[in-house]
Structure 1
Amino acid sequence: MRVSIQTKIIVLILSLLTFITVILSGFFAYMEFRDIEDRLGDKALSTATYVAGSPVVKEAFRSPDPSERLQPYAERVRKQAGAEFVVIGNESGIRYAHPDEWKIGRHMVGGDNARALQHGESYISRAEGTLGPSLRGKTPVRNDNGDIVGIISVGFLIEDLRSTVLQRLGVLGLLTFLAIGFGTVGAIFLSRSIKNDMYGLEPYQIADLYETRQSTLKAIREGIIAIDTDGNITTINDSAADMLGLKSHVEGVPVTSILPNSVMKRVLQHGEPEFNQELSMNGKLFIVNREPIYHKNTIAGVVATFRDKTEMMEMANTLSDIKKYSDDLRSQNHEFSNKLYALAGYLHLGKNKEAVQLIEEETVNQEKQASILFHQIKDSAVQAILTGKAGRASEKKVDLQIDESSQLDPLPPHISQSHLISILGNIIDNALEAVSYQENPVVSFFVTDLGRDIVFEVSDNGPGLQADITEILEKGFTTKDGSQKRGYGLAIIQETVHGLGGMMEIENGTENGAVCSIYIPKEEGSAAKP
């Protein structure tokens, strides 16, 4: 079970707060104890010094019974000073005054009188007497000649000292409890604020989203670049880096440093998206879309997506070729339906001879074409294209002839079906269009894979080439009449052929019409030779 970020923040803050308050409380207690101890020690010593210098004490020591005068005086001083005891003894340590009168006349205990009685020192000591452990101030009593005749001991019990410290710690404990309480409330509000800033997500959820985002950016074929309000790049995917030829990370650098012609800052300024804009980069033409990024209704940056225009055109052309292939199959189906209707008509009229003749003619043609298509041409894509074009030619009343010497094994993998549709489909369509106004229109198809290259050849008996070959390859043929003008894109065919390492030749026939020859190498990466 995962612990939420809110719980982690609260526990962390409370742990730190508790740790700090405990450390500070302990330090305060120690310092307070030392401070009170020092002050009480000084008070005990000053009181003892005061008593030792009192005339009452000096006169009492000269009297026959010192205790008679010293006991009430010592009690009076003890109460005034707030001390636990004021003990007065002679030079032998025999008590003259004590809070417990029955202890008068007995030896003082604690073993800490030597410094005062023997060396004449005034000092503070810790010792355990009859009342318990205590903090004592001791000083000698001297006569008029300066001789030591007694000792004064003023003390405060250690237990009372601790009680005073604990009382003050009680106040500190209350303050600590209040601090922890306020800290808890603050931690809850802080954790909620952080959670809201993270859109209510947990860190592991943010990590999952980040990984998904990175994977998505890598999977997208379009180039993506995003910038912040300063025009610095915040995001760039692998496709964009490949298109721009970048080999190192460029996050954080100005977009104009890698795209001098970029107008993404313009979108930052006016906030209006721009779609399907052309942009030239590194000698290539791209289609670019730019949109502002908003955060709380404020522009926080701009994201641009772009794609190679040439690649987009190739895809559009491929789709167009596939559509034409579908139309060819539809035409073939339509032509076959017409023949079935004719056959049904003959049978309905009882003209069995004519019906049989139609079947025999169609059978001969189909068997001849099928023999070449399925025995000599063994590539299924080429078979399908020729079958479709045969139906289209039949509908247009054009005789599409497949050369009996044609021979083709299955094509290598680098020559795809889309390549064949683009090449063969367009060439045969051009030939069918070229002979559409001839009295006996004929289009011939030949293919062979003998040698290092695959050779496709399409010829017709049309009017032949009427324009310069360079101009034709640049612009393509276009019919000039009819409501729907169509270009047959020889330039696109040539580009596709060159992409496969091949070459194309177009020339007029020996008698009439035109001949188009395509040479494609069998091995990928090699160059074709006519």
Structure 2
Amino acid sequence: MIPRRAGTAQRRRLSTRILASQVAILAVTSVIGFVLFAWVQRGQLDHEYEQRALSTARVAAADPQIREGMSGAGGAALVQPAAERIAEAARASYVVVVDLNGVRYSHPHADLIGQRIAEPLAVLDGRGHVGIDQGVTGRSANGKAPLWGPSGRVIGEVSVGIAEKNVAGQLWRELPTFALYAGIALAVGCGASYALARRLKRSTFGLELEEIAGLLQDREAMLHGIREGVVAFDPSGRVTVVNDEARRLLRIDAALGLRPADVLPAGRLRDALDGTLGGNDLTVLTDRYCLVVNRMPVVLHGRELGAVVTVRDRTELVGLLRELDSVRGLTDALRAQQHEFANRMHILAGLLDLGEHDAAFEYAVESACVEPALTEAVRQRVGNPLMVGLIVAKSTVAAERGVSITLSDDSQLGEQPVHLRGLLTIVGNLLDNAVEAALSGAATAGGARVELSLLETRSEITVRVADSGPGVPGDAVESIFQDGWSTRPDRGTARRGLGLALVHRLVLHHGGTITVSSGAGAVFGVTLPLPATPTASGRPRPAGANPFELSGSGGDRW
């Protein structure tokens, strides 16, 4: 459980703050909505009562008694009773009938009958009109209809008004229903807000806003402060976190929201990041680094949150281990020479003890010429002393183990070959692999043997290593150069499965090619192109700043 920060108990909980905020928002919006709805409803009621007033005015204009009084001699004596009758039946506040001169023939106030109206007649166009009237009877919804005479001409106007209190009374009768609906909506919104607050609380694992902000700051400080690459993935496999060290080691910049397949080429590194390749402490070689990759799924409270990948730079450590293996190889070679020298001394002592002085002399001369002969045979074909020392040392160690290493007669390498550092690593690793393969193969008539060929021309350097071992299986030709591919278990000081992968990357780094045969007796062929022009000093160009170009024995055998 993540501890709460000091002072959190005095603050309101996140779910409470969210609920209170949403309830306040819902309450304000409900009131605003209620007011707007009442305003719209008031407008609709005004329109409805205006149309009712117009309908009443048309009924009054068609009343025979009113028409007779307006067209005959009855006048107001006939019109006023009819208008009062219609107003009472329609619950209108007034029914006013005027002639074309604007003279009233009916009105709720009898003293206004016979007087002219102030405004002009609106129905001279022969159509009905509606509006809000601010007359002597107060505010009312008004409707005006033309009064037609026997000849079909407009002879007057009928104006009907319905008092404002009728409209307001209708609105007040409807408002409780509207308020009930608004209350129901508010209650439903509060319930949804409460459920949302609970869900957000579960999503944040009960953390409050201050705790989430603090954890984010701590995470950023930790991720960008450690010397280990960290990459986090969500459940769908997209990158959610990548720190500065991971960007440097993986050489990726804009990776957030993308999958490994979108930012990395196909290979062992991408398979290790996306989980295709399982296991712990996976060793991966890139163009610049030797990395150890670990991928761990993240599960919290039974929920799968994705995975976290850690990437550690082991380039320097692997380089030191390879140098240690190189020193160990030289030590083994010296130990073998010491052992061989002790045997020869014992033979000489025995011959002298037996008095075979002539035989002892001949054996001493023969033994003295063995090592110089081996070194001289290599130096005749290889001019570079480092390469000569590597081949002689490998031959001595291999001979101690029962494997014969021979240099082909067509070999020819100059004193300062181009790509020397890379060439030493390539030859050392291929010879180590070939010796291991020759030892694991079935006994042959010629014994366990390895043949090395080095040929330098004007345009390229060719390396060919053949062994008498069982060879490379046909289904492994495509995967033999991948990181970690090996048929033998790891040793104490170094991981297996890196030698051929390292050779492959060095060859590609120098723009060369590498091939391998399938079937019995593996044959590895490497071709390194030479630069077109020498450097200004006349010396060959350096092999490049590749951290894996180490001279001596590679020691990573497949």
TM-score (norm 1): 0.49
Bigger CA radius of gyration: 1
